[in-house]
Structure 1
């Protein structure tokens, strides 16, 4: 047995972009998570760090995102990590890591 589960709490970085594959809506946006600045026991300061995550929502979740999720919204997200590799127009291989949302909750914010 294996598990692919991600839990994130963060702030939306941009309004969701909605597109359709056939008749299925897909919302995509970026979510920022932060680690606070801290000081190690030896006195070394570790600065605040922000990670950006690519979020993908399908179907009714995408419709909710279109109506209610905006830049600055605070979200709780549960989902799976997916990796994709593709070639751009210049034949350069690109890879992307995305979080496919299974469950989410709008926590508040803007």
Structure 2
């Protein structure tokens, strides 16, 4: 049985190319953290090459970007070729059969802005006609607040 399931973050934007017959092929690398730490107490990371074909390749090129998290299901493949010096080079990679795009494709700051706007909209719709003695907690959004370390619960 040859089945691989990985979850990791892209180390760079995917590269989309086409074979001479016009078949899409997309390559990228994901960083996958190991479950256990090494003897120094540090978590090590494996960098795994992924190759996707046809429609999966098109989708990966369209929706994945550096830093985006993805779940890859596929099979391990080893191939070889002779390089310019005539030496045989072996390549091990995962051929993606199913790719799930995890997280959001938008930058983190845009996600936060959308979440803030959604909270404001929910708060104002929930408090229409309500005389909240503390006022709108989001009315000063984006402005610094004056709070001491003693007020923080952590």
TM-score (norm 2): 0.63
Aligned to 1:105: 100
Secondary structure at 1:64 match in 2? helix
Is the counterpart of residue 29 in structure 1 residue 28 in structure 2? yes
- Deviation by residue 1:26-47 (Cα, 9 ceiling, x = unmatched): 00010110125648xxxx5442
**Runs of 4+ residues over 4 Å off in structure 1:** none
**Higher Cα radius of gyration:** 2
Query: Paired residues, what number?
Result: 104
Please, which runs of 5 or more residues in structure 1 have no aligned partner?
none
Aligned to 1:96: 91
Please, which runs of 5 or more residues in structure 2 have no aligned partner?
108-154
TM-score (norm 1): 0.86
Alpha-carbon separation, structure 2, partners of 1:55 and 1:67: 16
Secondary structure at 1:23 match in 2? coil
Alpha-carbon separation, structure 2, partners of 1:52 and 1:96: 13
- Check conservation: 1:31, 1:53, Cα contact below 8 A: yes
More helix by share: 2
Match among 3, 9, 12 for residue 11 of structure 1: 9
Q: Tell me the C-alpha RMSD between the 2 structures.
A: 1.7
